[in-house]
Amino acid sequence: MKKITLALIMLFLAATGVSAQILKPVTWQFGAKKINNEEAVIFMKATIANGWHIYSQHVEEGGPIKTSFTFSPSADYALVGKPAEPKPKVKREDVFDMDVAYFDKEVVFQQKVKLKKGTTTVRGAVEFMACDATQCLPPDEVPFAVAIK
């Protein structure tokens, strides 16, 4: 009887682990490329599971939670403009009663920075919301720290 109970507990834990992975449909990677001694570009790449999507930074009020980036202030660098994004897909979402811009599969956002010293670390966070055809997950925030050498 103890073996059956232990087997059921193990099966439950394994099933719970699988379902937890399903609820993390977006993974992020961060990197930087130095353009010259005074400029660099920060790359923020989202890899999105099949059937899921995240929203553009440019979503109208009343729509879903848009992807947004915050950067920690530093005397070592200054942001140049706002984060750039590729052209998103656009579709009508009845739940928001509007057209919304989104990304699926993969998207790379880029932030240019002006360096005030040769090496630094750019710190910040990305906030985003992932949705599929039947549900939207609560907004998530992922911190990052990118070394520029």
Amino acid letter, residue 93: E
Q: Residue 10: inside a domain, yes or no?
A: no
pLDDT recorded at residue 12:
42
Tell me if 16 is assigned to some domain: no
Q: Which residues of the chain have pLDDT under 70?
A: 1-22
Per-residue b or e along 65-89, where b marks 16 or more CB atoms closer than 10 Å to that residue's CB: bbbebebeeeeebebeeebebeebe
Structure tokens, 111: 């932030």
Tell me whether residue 33 is exposed, middle or buried, using C-beta atoms within 10 angstroms of its C-beta: 0 to 12, 13 to 18, 19 or more. Answer: exposed
Q: Which residues contact 116 (CB under 8 A, 6 or more apart)?
A: 75, 76, 77, 78
* CATH number of the domain that residue 114 is part of: 2.60.40.1250
How do 68-71 and 89-93 pair as beta strands? unpaired
**Considering the domain boundaries, does residue 20 fall inside one?**
no
Tell me how many domains the chain contains. 1
Report pLDDT for 22: 54
Residue 23 has a pLDDT of 81
Angle of CA points 48, 35, 119, to nearest 5° = 90
Q: Within 10 Å of residue 131's Cβ, how many Cβ atoms?
A: 20
Per-residue model confidence as pLDDT tens digits over 49-64: 999 999 999 999 999 9
Three-state secondary structure call for residue 119: coil
Give the pTM: 0.83
| 124 found inside a domain | yes
Element (DSSP H or E) covering residue 86:
none
pLDDT at 118: 84
Q: Which tens digits make up the pLDDT trace of 2-23?
A: 444 333 344 344 444 444 455 8
Query: Does residue 11 fall inside a structural domain?
Result: no
